[in-house]
A = this chain, B = another copy of it.
């Protein structure tokens, strides 16, 4: 068992410095008081990450910290909320030592600065199982303005931020190696070793370190009729909007934005697009809107691409340039 101080020393050394909000009471209490804003609703969300499921055992502690926080901030982003704080429940296996925990706390500190949030409280327990982290994140949204999943209407356009599929490819690189990717027959000729490594690095980074689209989400208040963050795969997640809104969503495969790295890795065939649209961990925002302001991408700090339309009906379909439906073999990641 690696050297590790007691539970209370650990909290004192690593976590108290992160509890910068006055409502956290320096973690000296059993509970926190959420900061209030008379004009805002408090939006809350919770997401847990389990070693071996959501991250790999060898992933660095600072990146695991950031990923756990960011997947929750991504949920808040898609709801149009501005995050202010979070609670952290840690289940630690014995083998996790102080070095790892210091890395972990450093990652949290960096992201707290990047996203202006404070640790508000938490819980630390031992576990005989895998490292398990649960964050509950909080944000403010002007009263009644949380962007729901339920407002998509026939005639709306369907949009997504950034590019999709990168994280799925990054996970493939991590688990299968970058040098022998499962390639589409339409993939381009093999590039130099340096180019392959750079591409692999980019895709791995996209898997390990999602970018919550907070500025975009806040810019979508009053613009988007429905929104969510893409975590289980674009097609699967848009399926939630279709279901809850009672509409049909038609996606045009050729419009789905793929990064240059992904095109170099998987190619740009229909097969590659289907894989990208069903891969998990993108943490982009997918949304519907009658139209979007020209300045949206600039305000949101990330490109936004129109990828389809909302119609009357049910379900999500992917179509080719001739309007024919492309079969989607696996709709998205499910835990079970």
Contacts and interface: CB of A to CB of B under 8 A. Distances in A.
Contact of A32 (B44, B229, B334): B44
A78 B30 contact: yes
Interface string A35-61: 010100111111111101110000000
A122 to B, nearest CB: 6
B132 A91 contact: yes
A19 B123 CA distance: 24
Given A48-B125, A76-B31, A126-B50, A87 B136 contact: yes
Contact of A79 (B29, B46, B75, B89): B29
Interface in A123-155: 123-130, 132, 134, 136, 138, 141, 146, 148-150
Contact of A128 (B75, B87, B130): B130
A122 B48 CA distance: 9
Nearest to A147: B29
A69 interface: no
Nearest to A81: B31
A136 B4 CA distance: 27
A122 B31 contact: no
A69 to B, nearest CB: 14
Given A28-B149, A45-B30, A146-B31, A125 B36 contact: no
Interface residues of A, number: 65
Given A6-B334, A89-B46, A79 B127 contact: no
A335 interface: yes
A253 to B, nearest CB: 25
Most buried by B among A92, A125, A146: A125
A78 B31 CA distance: 9
Interface in A213-242: 228-229, 240
A319 B308 CA distance: 75
A148 B123 CA distance: 17
Contact of A44 (B8, B31, B146, B334): B31
Given A128-B129, A129-B132, A130-B127, A149 B30 contact: yes
Contacts of A134: 46, 48, 89, 123, 134
A14 interface: no
Nearest to A228: B30
Nearest to A31: B45
A88 B126 CA distance: 19
A81 B30 CA distance: 12
6 contacts: A25-B150, A29-B149, A29-B150, A30-B229, A123-B134, A125-B335
Interface of A: 4, 6-8, 25, 28-34, 36, 38, 41-50, 52-54, 75-76, 78-79, 81, 87-89, 91-92, 94, 120-130, 132, 134, 136, 138, 141, 146, 148-150, 228-229, 240, 244, 334-336
Given A29-B150, A45-B87, 20 more contacts: A6-B334, A25-B150, A30-B45, A30-B78, A31-B79, A31-B81, A34-B34, A34-B43, A34-B44, A44-B87, A44-B120, A46-B88, A46-B89, A46-B136, A48-B125, A50-B91, A50-B127, A53-B128, A89-B89, A129-B129
